[in-house]
Amino acid sequence: MSALDDNLTKLGGYLDRFRAYGIPNRIAGQDVAGSGGVFQTHTPVDKSVICDVAHGTAADIDKAARAAAAAFADWRDMPAKQRCDILIRIAEGIEARAEEIALCECWDTGQTIKFMSKAALRGAENFRYFADQVVRARDGQHLPSPTLMNVTTRVPIGPVGVITPWNTPFMLSTWKIAPALAAGCTVVHKPAEVSPLTARLLVQIVEEAGLPPGVLNTVNGFGDEAGKALCEHPLIRAIAFVGESRTGSLITKQGADTLKRNHLELGGKNPVIVFEDADLDRAMDAVIFMIYSINGERCTSSSRLLVQDTIRSEFEAKLVERVNRIKVGHPLDPATEIGPLVSKEHFDKVTRYFDIAREDGARVAAGGTAVGTEGYFVRPTLFTDATNDMRIAQEEIFGPVLTSIPFRTEEDALHMANDTAYGLTGYVWTNDLTRALRFTDCLEAGMIWVNSENVRHLPTPFGGVKASGIGRDGGDWSFEFYMEQKHVGFATGQHKITRLGAS
């Protein structure tokens, strides 16, 4: 049996349960039907229906928010060590079901098993990392003044909403939910409507690990209905959101009346800048990895290549050769490097840019075509002869599509790198240390790697500037979002209190 057949057989077993029971909402530890009925979720591999999914509405969000509010005090006050143990058991549960999570994620989203098996384990790592932080999450400072002993402490903000997108949905959900739970918050999760499978697995795993009912609630549904209701709900204190920039701005508006705290992780049009003095072989590998892995459906992807004109011809020629050799295929085949795009809507969006590139005067140097009609497959694509003002250089395509733009000087490169609405990541390839220092200092991005692809280290801050987001995750930054600072001043009883109405 081939590895693909083997994976398909295993997947069949895992999908049976989804087919038989569909995906209900999970509220206060109970399966609850969606008050809007059901909708169907499809696989982008062959467009077939996977299962029915609860169509959650504002009424379901209300139930879930009440459940999260009711569970909050006990979860907040549970001894930290006990909470930590539950988070560790969740990590173990994810590890035990990592294969199931990865296979279901691939079928639901079109992501390849090559990358999703690692993403599932990264979900466990997120829980382990934040489990380690639980015990000191409430720690504060001692700031004495001559007449007061001032202390600070942190307290969890309350029930929070987590709204996630469809690209690597399991990993991203755990990245938000793990620190929220570690902080002592309860959660209502609204997964993306096109990728609901692994959110169901997560809620099963956390309950089996002993998370009390109501601490994590999952409501499926659409953004402008369930998502909007979550942002507007008065019992929800904050929204952790990952998704498109224009949705981020809706999240802000929808939360205004209830004064929501929002953390927004949004889109990107990230530059990778390759100078002539760089290690060009390593730069080539990283350029390819950062746009063609994970189907290019990755917020941190380097979708703009800025390459120095002196090395451009040779670099682009080698790039074309490599891009043409990337294997597009069934996402459950371990040899596949690119699977289908997540949905028809997204496939239509990405393929439109093949025409836009030509209309705007760029050259399609590789790809630029769909593959078959069975699913939403496209060839990895490279646009050359582009300028930074073209739509293919300014708009987030969010697929395996790279736009290459030449530059002459360091100043040109910096100007182009910053000349975009976004500012999530930047990647700089040079062996000139002082140039790297100058360049990174002026590059407008929340995260920058020098001579490296994106290598995530969980204690470091994750987030973007400009239209790429507001706020940071990672390390203690996550707790800053999910917790409130509290100051208490204890007087020593000696200071003079100004007396009014006493004379």
243 binding ligand NAD? (CB under 6 A): yes
Is there binding between residue 190 and ligand NAD (CB under 6 A)? yes
Q: Which is nearer to ligand NAD, 24 or 227 (CB)?
A: 227
Active site residue 299: yes
Q: Are 399 and 380 in contact (CB under 8 A)?
A: no
- What gap in Å lies between CA 472 and CA 463, rounded to an integer? 5
Contacts with 475 (C-beta within 8 Å, 6 or more apart), sequence order: 458, 459, 460, 461
Of 181 and 230, the one with the shorter C-beta distance to ligand NAD is 230
For residue 242, the cross-strand partners are 265
- Which parts of 168-187 interact with ligand NAD (CB under 6 A)? 172
From the CB of 142, what's the least distance to ligand NAD, in Å? 35
| Two structure tokens written together for 293 | 């892995």
Q: Based on CB atoms, which residue is closest to ligand NAD, 120 or 242?
A: 242
Q: Which of 44, 156, 214, 227 binds ligand NAD (CB under 6 A)?
A: 227
Task: Locate 120 and state its tokens.
Answer: 């599932």
Quote the distance between the C-alpha of residue 339 and its chain's center. Answer: 19
Q: Decide: 483 and 156 in contact? Cβ < 8 Å.
A: yes
DSSP strands (E only) in 185-340: 187-190, 216-218, 238-242, 261-265, 271-274, 304-308
CA dist 26 and 380 (Å) reads 38
Which one among 8, 28, 88, 250 touches ligand NAD, defined by CB under 6 A? 250
| Interatomic CA distance for residues 67 and 18, integer angstroms | 25
Q: Residue 75 or 427: which CB sits closer to ligand NAD?
A: 427
- Sole residue written with tokens 């959101």: 241
Are 36 and 25 in contact by the 8 Å Cβ rule? The answer is no
Given 181, 242, 286, 328, the residue binding ligand NAD (CB under 6 A): 242
Query: Of 52, 105, 125, 265, which one interacts with ligand NAD (CB under 6 A)?
Result: 265
Instruction: Quote the CA–CA distance of 489 and 260 in Å, as a whole number.
Output: 27
The CA-atom distances, in angstroms, between 14 and each of 98, 125, 339 are 12, 23, 20
Q: Assign residue 221 a region (left: φ > 0; alpha: ψ between -120 and 50; beta: otherwise).
A: left
Task: Report the nearest approach of ligand NAD to the CB of residue 184 (Å).
Answer: 24
For the window 284-323, what string marks contact with ligand NAD as x by the rule CB under 6 A? ---------------x------------------------
Which span (62-70, 217-225, 375-383, 427-435) binds ligand NAD, by CB under 6 A?
217-225
Partner residues linked to 401 by β-bridges: 381
Q: Is 398 in the site for ligand NAD (CB under 6 A)?
A: yes
Note whether 42 and 193 are within 8 A (CB): no
247 binds ligand NAD (CB under 6 A): yes
329 φ, ψ (degrees, to nearest 5): 180, -160
* Residue of 209, 251, 428, 483 interacting with ligand NAD (CB under 6 A): 251
- Write the burial class of residue 346 (CB in 10 Å: 0-12 exposed, 13-18 middle, 19+ buried): buried
The verdict on 353 binding ligand NAD (CB under 6 A) reads no
Q: In the bound complex, what is the minimum distance in angstroms from residue 175's beta carbon to ligand NAD?
A: 8
Q: Does 267 bind ligand NAD (CB under 6 A)?
A: yes
Candidate residues 54, 120, 134, 163; the one interacting with ligand NAD per rule CB under 6 A: 163
Q: Using CB under 6 A, which of the segments 90-98, 159-167, 177-185, 366-374 binds ligand NAD?
A: 159-167
Catalytic member of 125, 265, 297, 396: 265
Spot the catalytic one: 299, 316, 337, 395. Answer: 299
Question: 446 to 475, contacts with ligand NAD by CB under 6 A?
Answer: 464, 469
Q: Which residues contact 320 (CB under 8 A, 6 or more apart)?
A: 365, 366, 382
Residues that bind ligand NAD (CB under 6 A): 163-167, 172, 190, 192-193, 222-224, 227-228, 231, 242-244, 247, 250-251, 254, 265-268, 299, 396, 398, 424, 464, 469
Residue numbers annotated as active site: 265, 299
